[in-house]
Structure 1
Amino acid sequence: MTDLTIIPAVNHTPEPVFVARHLINGKWQASANGETFERASPAHGQTVTEAALGGAAETEAAIAAAREAFDDGRWSRISGKERAEILLKVAAFIERDLDRIAMRDTLESGKPISQARDEIGGAIDIWRFAASLARTVSGDSHNSLGDDMLGLVLKEPVGVAALIAPWNFPFLIVSQKLPFALAAGCTAVVKPSELTPSSAVILGELLMEAGIPDGVVNIVLGYGDPVGTTMCESESVDMVSFTGSTAVGKAIVRASAGTLKKVSLELGGKNPQVVFPDCDLDEATDAIVFGVYFNAGECCNSGSRIIVHEDIAEALTERVVALSKKVPFGDPLDPRTKVGAIISDAHFDKIDSYVSGARSDGAAIPLGGGALAVPGLSGRFYTPTVVTNVNSTMAVAREEVFGPVLSVLTFKTIEEAIALANGAAYGLSAGVWSNDVSTCLAFARRVQAGTVWTNTWMDGFSELPFGGVKQSGLGRELGRYGLEEYLEVKTVTMRIGRTRASWVE
């Protein structure tokens, strides 16, 4: 497909293979059995990481270290000011090492280097925001319970938090969890994806450099089973926070049920953008193209379906196809690249199966729908793909493709648009495009989604909470609500007078 914009391989000195180990109780450790696993770059094919392969023994040791560190108060009972100082040091060290962290994320995930740098920059802001929250944890007092009574509501750290992160935003999503857990006074065991372990290990190095006490943050590398399963089933873990697929999220709920621990889940999405005829078509087109191709569509917030008024559907689709051809796909090490490689062969096949299925179901594919060859690279790349003549019963319109694939549906009335938007099992985010504020507000109030964007897409801020409804998850990250996830509420009822009547005369 020669009319696409393709960035060929750049001349780049190969990075040394990163050696990743577990961080347990302040010490870097290999696995007890010596097992390791390798990660090859999805864009370039070479091995970029050799990581220790953790099992139940390493996971249990990390949990025990976090449990002891929480119970003895070395972190949970120090002042918010002291915790904030450590978090601010970590933010400064991340800023210092931004290029190093971004390079590891790019090599392991296939995301463009310019995007990786932006994500690390966003993570720095999150760490600083969480540091500010560490000094503001407060409860309530009730002084209206009678002359001799005083009621206090305390907010205390949950305890040991197991944080399980995905491969698509390896450093950013750890940073949406860990600093809030630490600000609240929790200790943590972190499991990064086995596909992208390096940046979490670098974060562990920076935490140690910042002076975090041993055992407060532990990192275990390996697969979901046994590492994640052991975390979820352990009686010594008080909370699990997971970001990933809805199917795995359900498995985590089942694994955690035996101990009734708190669970926070940020899961999948099938996020609609509803486009009305009175919107700015150029702005909507740009945001739609950004929303579906950002991070190669491997994003829970991907704007993977547009629901466009039938009066402008043809014009908007033509604009989207034309602009899609200008998006630079190719070598993620070139700063010009906007879309990089697909994470794995299995995921590539999954994406392609949705497109093939849509074609078989009668959909049209005016752009893309297959592998993309990038000169000089042997990695996995998928073409920008637009699917039209789609109806709401097709899998491509209802299920999370997690790739650079846009489904186009049409509507006649706002009632129909809202029904289509709410017709999926997910409820993570949604968008509306209209110059009529009443239309935007009507949609925002009725759509089933944790985040609604009006005349924009995927703007994010550390101050604003993020999370979904329905099968997109439980709980919230970021904002003050992100801190609240790691706090428990305790009521203290105090008799301060001597007026209690005797129960037995």
Structure 2
Amino acid sequence: MTELNLISAVDAAIPAEPFICRHLIAGEWRDSASGETYDRMSPAHGCLVSRAALGAEADAEAAIVAAREAFDSGVWSRISGKERATILLRVADLIEGNVERMALLETLESGKPISQSRAEVSGAADLWRYAASLARTMHGDSHNTLGPDMLGVVVKDPIGVVSMITPWNFPFWILSQKLPFALAAGCTTVIKPSELTPSTTVMLGELLFEAGMPAGVVNIVLGYGASVGSVMTTHEAVDMVTFTGSTAVGKAISAAASSTLKKVALELGGKNPQVVFPDADIESAADAITFGVYFNTGQCCNSSSRIIVHEDIVDEVVERVVELSKRVAFGDPLDPRTQVGAIISVQHQGKIDDYVRAAVTEGAEIALGGGPMTVPGLEGQFYQPTVVRGVSPEMAIAREEVFGPVLSVLTFRTMDEAVALTNDASYGLSAGVWSENVHTCLEFSTRAQAGTVWTNTWMDGFPELSFGGVKQSGQGREIGRYGLEEFFEIKTLVMRIGRTREPWVRPE
């Protein structure tokens, strides 16, 4: 194995007892109707992290009924924006006060570095604060140009009960891209976190109680998609489903929800390129590429898992990325120095390795890494930083979402070829362009089929800027003003001023 910057196991305080997760339904913490539970083992440390109630159809049904009753009662849907914002701001403060506790559980359940868990939880508080500002400033439209006796008003009503299904890779951040915006709009919710990472969602439920959230407005059901998620996507009392995860599951959810014509918002996979032109600042580009492919161990929908580099500079770029990759700190997620942690499961690690092996069989060359690795003192699964060059566009590693610390390198000669390679994918989540020429950057940005295009940077994000994809990367937007709009129904009010309407039936 290539010599890497490995961080061995540290003497960290791992909780002696698992965190107990229960359902939150109608303002009460409940065990499953069946009494069953399931355990989550740490993918890095091999210890028992959490024990969660194993939900089924009866639990999901109870949560949906609670959300429906809370919405229809008006306890949240008909209060003022100021009242909603006040509670959302309290939640933000409580999140910041619980960063260490929540980050530790997220790191143990997911295998991500503790420094990234801390940043995820603390950063999510800003999403709650921004949503609170929208709760007080959202508005509709008025039209007083329809004639002297008419006034038209367009209002925005909360869509109703929203099912939220969240993934394991950023369990707290992605929940915070959805929940505070739905609450700002006046919706009630039922949440199903990934069965792999339930703890921080349950912890958030505790904070919502403390902040004064009315019972039934936010409900949490734990368990698997087949038994819980299926009810949440088909139930007639649910008005909208928002899901983040794989494209395959997103398609299944969209099909299931179609039976009741409920609204569906999907944030799905990506095969995100960074395109490097000859005049790029190679030092900055190489650093961003290294960050983009290894952040969260590459288990990120926004991972820059492929780079498209001008053939004149590809050797220089690859050499620099390989050099930087060797300096990235891989190892124990509980060490603050660690930058890349564990793979979420043994099965997923095998899938990552299959992509690399297939690429080599098809003629690609491994410039770095290319297989699993061990970290001294840890029982979990880890994968080497891997750079694969000589990749052709038809290879699976160039087209499909590997979801691991694996970088594919392709080359181009002209702008047209760079754009064609960028758009030659079923995904369209994000893309990046590196050039010192603003005209090059603008042309690429306007032609790239992606929901977000970064110029001379990668993965900078702000609560004000909406996020989402095109093509099979999803539909709808999250965060920002457009993220709030997803949770509204538009209603038009047409009002006649005075008794000016001509009778349709003439009086005798």
Q: 1:362 to 1:2 in 2, by over 3 A?
A: closer
Instruction: Tell whether the 8 Å contact from 1:246 to 1:473 is kept in structure 2 after alignment.
Output: yes
1: CA distance, partners of 2:11 / 2:454: 40
Q: Indicate the residue corresponding to 1:73 in structure 2.
A: 74
The answer for the alignment partner of 1:224 in structure 2 is 225
The answer to whether the aligner puts 1:493 opposite 2:494 as a matched pair is yes
What is the match of residue 419 of structure 1?
Answer: 420
* Contact in 1 for aligned 2:113/2:341 (Cα 8 Å): yes
1:101–1:202: 8 Å Cα contact kept in structure 2? yes
Which residue number in structure 1 is paired with residue 472 of structure 2? 471
Instruction: Return the offset for 1:366.
Output: 1.2
- 1:322-361 to structure 2, matched below 5 A, reads 322-361=323-362
CA shift in 2, pair 1:448/1:2, >3 Å: closer
User: Do 2:372 and 2:383's aligned partners in 1 also have CA atoms closer than 8 Å?
Assistant: yes
AA in 2 matched with 1:370? G
Aligned residue number for residue 278 of structure 2? 277
Please give the alpha-carbon distance, in whole angstroms, between the structure 2 residues aligned to 1:33 and 1:115: 36
Q: Give the superposition deviation at 1:503.
A: 1.3
Residue 432 of structure 1: CA displacement? 0.1
Dislocated runs of 4+, deviation >6 Å? none
**Cross-structure match for 1:188:** 189
2:132 aligns with 131
Aligned AA (2:51): E
Question: Over the residues paired in the alignment, what is the CA RMSD in angstroms?
Answer: 0.6
Aligned to 2:311: 310
Could you tell me whether the CA contact under 8 Å between 2:2 and 2:368 is conserved in 1? no
Matches of 1:383 and 1:29 in 2, distance apart?
A: 42
- The alpha carbon displacement at 1:372 in A equals 1.2
CA deviations 1:461-487 (Å, max 9, x no partner) are: 000000000000000001001110101
The reply to whether residue 19 of structure 1 matches residue 20 of structure 2 is: yes
- Partner in structure 1 of residue 248 of structure 2: 247
Structure 1 letter corresponding to 2:348: H
* Secondary structure of residue in 2 paired with 1:150: strand
Q: Describe the superposition over 1:392-441 as per-residue Cα deviations: whole angstroms up to 9, x where unpaired.
A: 00000000000000000000000000000000100000000000000000
Please report how far the alpha carbon of residue 204 of structure 1 lies from its aligned counterpart in structure 2 after TM superposition. Answer: 0.1
Aligned equivalent of 2:403: 402
Cα distance, 1:13 vs. partner? 2.7
Contact 1:292 1:406 in 2 (8 A): yes
Partner of 2:382: helix, strand, or coil? coil
Q: CA deviation at 1:496?
A: 1.1
State the Cα distance separating 1:147 from its structure 2 match: 1.0
Structure 1: runs of 5+ lacking an equivalent: none
Residues matched between the structures, number: 505
AA aligned to 1:98 is: V
Q: Are 1:432 and 2:403 counterparts?
A: no
Per-residue deviation, 1:230: 0.2
CA contact (8 A) 1:147 1:497 kept: no
Give TM-score scaled by structure 2 length. 0.99
**CA-CA distance at 1:2 after TM superposition:** 4.9
Is structure 2 residue 294 aligned with structure 1 residue 297?
A: no
Amino acid at match of 1:13: A
The letter for the 2-side match of 1:12 is: A
Asked if structure 2 preserves the Cα contact closer than 8 Å seen for 1:49 and 1:198, the reply is yes
Indicate yes or no: 2:36 matched with 1:35: yes
Q: CA deviation at 1:14?
A: 2.2
Are 2:467 and 2:478, in contact at CA under 8 Å, matched by a contact in 1? Answer: yes
SS in structure 2 opposite 1:221? coil
CA contact (8 A) 2:428 2:470 kept: yes
Counterpart code for 1:7: I
Query: What is the CA-CA distance between 1:497 and the residue it aligns to?
Result: 2.2
Q: Deviations over 1:184-233 (max 9, x none)?
A: 00000010000000000000000001010000000000001111110000
Aligned mates of 2:250, 2:8 — CA distance in 1: 38
Give the SS at the match of 1:161: strand
Structure 2 unaligned spans of 5+: none
Name the CA distance, whole Å, in 1 between partners of 2:124 and 2:374: 33
SS in 2 for 1:339: coil
